[in-house]
Amino acid sequence: MLSKKIKIEDIEKFLSENPSFFIEHPQILQSLKFPSLKKNNSIGNKVVSFKDWLINNLRFEKEGLIENAKYNYLTQKKIHQAVISIINKNNLKEFLKYLNIELPKLFHLEIINIVCTKKELSSKYNLIFLEEKEVDKYYRLNNHFIMDAVDDQKILYKNAKKKIYSNAIFSLNIKSLDFFPLLIFASTDKHFVSNRAYDLILFLSKIIQFKLGKFF
């Protein structure tokens, strides 16, 4: 009698089509062996039982939740500090200086820029100038928010001293202006491509938008 060789793909397909298989046959789990997880969540060489594997997984998951909670707490504190500083700025020049110099330091970013499509305004306040068609091409949606690895628009980071790896871009909606400026947060690491929640940086962007609206 010929035995049919079972492929890994067949097993994966079967389990995906029968997600309750191990619930209906829990005894099978007792005989299975699983690779252990190292502290950095990579696969180790040691083989462990399903129970130990499950306990390790839960422990790593808990550590990850605690780390994310700590990160969010510290970020919230920085956001509160930034909002108070922004509210207390009394003129546009003082505000832009804080935005370009102090705020990046607070959040360990390489740069924070405002991109403007009006040459005279860009020159007057030392903003990044970009043609309106380029802004429309990449960021045409009003109040659109992007978090990703950098694109080929190097001009957005021309004042950066180091290579930019990731960025967050917010299209500002200021009713007194006849164009939509861009707010650029740029980092030299994967700050904006990791699975970090974006609600805090989005909130800060809206505070900056509100304050700019008051100046213009």
Domains of the chain: 1-88 (no CATH), 90-215 (3.30.450.40)
Predicted confidence at residue 36, as pLDDT, reads 60
Whole-number CA gyration radius for the chain: 25
Predicted confidence at residue 204, as pLDDT, reads 94
- What distances in angstroms separate CA 143 from CA 59, 80, 128, 146, 171, one per listed residue? 39, 22, 19, 10, 5
Checking if the pLDDT of 44 tops 60, the result is: no
4-33 pLDDT tens trace: 677 888 888 888 888 888 778 777 766 766
Checking if the pLDDT of 146 tops 70, the result is: yes
What is the rounded average pLDDT of the residues 46-55? Answer: 63
67-86 pLDDT tens trace: 777 777 888 899 999 999 99
What is the rounded average pLDDT of the residues 131-160? Answer: 73
Predicted confidence at residue 114, as pLDDT, reads 93
What is the rounded CA–CA span in Å between residue 14 and residue 20?
A: 11
91-117 pLDDT tens trace: 999 999 999 999 999 999 999 999 998
What is the rounded CA–CA span in Å between residue 183 and residue 16?
A: 43
Predicted confidence at residue 2, as pLDDT, reads 47
What is the rounded CA–CA span in Å between residue 200 and residue 83?
A: 11
| pTM strictly above 0.85 | no
Predicted confidence at residue 205, as pLDDT, reads 93
Predicted confidence at residue 148, as pLDDT, reads 80
148 burial via Cβ count (<10 Å: 0-12, 13-18, 19+):
exposed
Checking if the pLDDT of 1 tops 50, the result is: no
Predicted confidence at residue 174, as pLDDT, reads 85
- 40-44, 50-54, 142-146, 156-160: which range is least confident on average? 40-44
Predicted confidence at residue 46, as pLDDT, reads 62
Sign of CA dihedral 52, 57, 58, 62: positive
